[in-house]
Each structure stands twice: as C-alpha cells, then as structure tokens.
C-alpha cells in the first residue's frame, strides 16, 4: 500500500501532507461517490419532473409500502453493522470485522431479495416495460392500464430502482471480496448458477442474475492480479460506498413509493 510504503521508507518532511488530510483511496472514493450522486440526482430530477407534470398514478397499496419500509429498515440496519465493522477493523479485530461485514451483506441480500420479489409481483400484475419478458398467466389489472396509459411511471420506477439494485448488488460483492477474499468467489459463482438455473426464463431476473457472473469475473481479476490482505482503510472505503447506497435509497423510497401511495 502506498501509504504504508511512505511510512516505512519516508524521511520526515519528505512527503507533503495531503490537502484533504485523508489517504488517497478515501479521497478517490469520495470523488467517485460525488459523481455517482449526480447520476442518481439526474434520475430523481427526471422522476420528480414527471411526477409533477403528469397525471401520476398512485398504485402502491399497503403491501408494497410495508415491503418497501422493511427494505428501508434492512438498509439502515446494514449501515449500522457496517459502522461496527469499521470500528472492529480499526481495532484490528479480524473476526468481528468479518462478522459485521457478513451481517451487512446479509441485510443487503435481504434487500435485494425483497426488491426482486416485489418486481416479480408488479410485473406479474402487469406493470412492465417492453423489453421485459412476458410472464405466463399475466393479469390484466390496474397496473396494465398504467403501463400503457402512463408509460413514464414504469420507465422511471424500473429505471431508478434497477440502478439502485445494481449498486446494492455491487456493494454486496465488494464487501464479500473485502471480508472473504478468494473464498467469496465460489460462493458468488454458486449464487449465480443457482439463480440462473432456478429462476424461470419468463422472469426478468433470469437475465439480470447474470450481473453476478460479471461481478464474479471482475472480482476474480482483481483478487488474482492484485492479491492483498484488506486492512482497516479498505474496510472504511468499502463502508463509504455502502453508506452511499443507503443514502440514495433515502430519496428513492419517499419519492417513488410514498408519493405513489394508494389511499
């Protein structure tokens, strides 16, 4: 690690103190998160614009709101376990660091599963995009009328939540690499294979689960080309990314779900 090398071989005063008082990885992650926030910002502005200037449907009933609230609680709790993981890493307590990271991943995975179940339910009810496979026995409900009458609703809903779900998935893989290193690769491969074989082909997640395969390839390249023992800095930087994912959901949940609540 560059910072460690600076300490071991540096002469006092040889290296100029960094402007931001933080190691480079952390500054880099902050800059990435700042740029990524603009991506979500643009999507949320587009959503808000459509929400205000369109006769917006309000289809989400009690079931969807309760589901989304539980998902929110999962993400908030995952942020707490992530903070505890960072503290454990600062104490150089490897066991607890790994356990807290695994707890964070468990909450993140619960969020993804709940979200996927909700997507599947909505698509089966008729809220869909032209690119999605048509499930067998699709109902002709209020959602079907929304998909045809106000196509912006399905486009913004699936666009925003898919982008966020992708970030959560990347976050879980990132934490898995930091917590388990090469041991995580077979787990990720098994998850992809199970998802690909078990999810029926008329379900959109039969195709989206391939994101795990891409994640597996990228993680394998990183782990084999630059194997290292991840330290407290790495845990803190991965935590920044995870908290950002949580932060973005704090805007998506009220705007997408609560602003479309059926009374």
Given the complex with other proteins, which of 34 and 217 has the nearer CB atom? Answer: 34
- Residues paired with 60 in a beta bridge: 261
- Listed in sequence order, the residues at least 6 apart from 191 whose beta carbon sits closer than 8 Å to its beta carbon are 212
Half-sphere exposure of 214 (CA within 13 A, CB side): 8
- Listed in sequence order, the residues at least 6 apart from 201 whose beta carbon sits closer than 8 Å to its beta carbon are 133
Summarize as ranges the residues that interact with other proteins (CB under 8 A).
3-4, 6-7, 18-23, 27, 30, 34, 37-38, 41-42, 45, 48-49, 51-53, 56, 65, 69, 72-73, 76-77, 79-80, 82-84, 86-87, 89-90, 232-233, 236, 239-240, 243-244, 246-247, 250-251, 253-255, 257-259, 261, 263
Q: How many CB atoms lie within 10 A of CB 226?
A: 7
Of the candidates 240, 239, 237, 243, which has an alpha carbon nearest to the alpha carbon of residue 24?
237
Given the complex with other proteins, which of 8 and 140 has the nearer CB atom? Answer: 8
Given the complex with other proteins, which of 188 and 245 has the nearer CB atom? Answer: 245
Q: How many CB atoms lie within 10 A of CB 78?
A: 27
Given the complex with other proteins, which of 42 and 194 has the nearer CB atom? Answer: 42
- Residues paired with 261 in a beta bridge: 60
Measure the CA–CA gap between 126 and 53, rounded to whole angstroms.
Answer: 24
Given the complex with other proteins, which of 38 and 197 has the nearer CB atom? Answer: 38
For the CB of residue 126, give the shortest distance to other proteins in the complex, in Å: 23
Measure the CA–CA gap between 250 and 177, rounded to whole angstroms.
Answer: 26
């Amino acid at each position: 690690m560059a910072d460690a090398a600076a300490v071991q071989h540096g002469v006092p005063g040889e290296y100029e103190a960094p402007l931001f008082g933080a190691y480079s990885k952390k500054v880099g992650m902050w800059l990435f998160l700042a740029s990524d926030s603009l991506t979500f910002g643009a999507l949320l502005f587009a959503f808000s614009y459509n929400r205000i200037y369109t006769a917006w449907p309000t289809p989400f009933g009690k079931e969807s709101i309760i589901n989304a609230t539980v998902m929110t609680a999962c993400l908030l709790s995952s942020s707490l376990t992530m903070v505890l993981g960072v503290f454990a890493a600062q104490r150089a307590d490897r066991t607890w660091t790994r356990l807290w990271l695994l707890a964070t991943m468990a909450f993140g995975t619960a969020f993804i599963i709940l979200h996927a179940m909700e997507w599947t339910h909505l698509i089966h009810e008729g809220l869909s995009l032209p690119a999605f496979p048509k499930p067998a026995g699709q109902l002709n409900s209020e959602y079907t009328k929304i998909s045809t009458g106000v196509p912006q609703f399905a486009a913004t809903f699936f666009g925003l939540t898919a982008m966020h779900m992708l970030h959560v998935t990347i976050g879980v893989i990132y934490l898995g690499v930091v917590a388990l290193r090469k041991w995580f690769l077979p787990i990720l491969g098994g998850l992809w294979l199970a998802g690909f074989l078990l999810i029926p082909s008329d379900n959109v997640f039969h195709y989206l689960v391939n994101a795990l395969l891409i994640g597996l390839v990228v993680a394998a390249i990183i782990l084999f080309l630059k194997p290292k023992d991840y330290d407290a800095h790495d845990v803190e930087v991965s935590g920044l990314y995870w908290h950002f994912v949580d932060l973005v959901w704090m805007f998506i949940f009220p705007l997408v779900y609560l602003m479309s609540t059926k009374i």
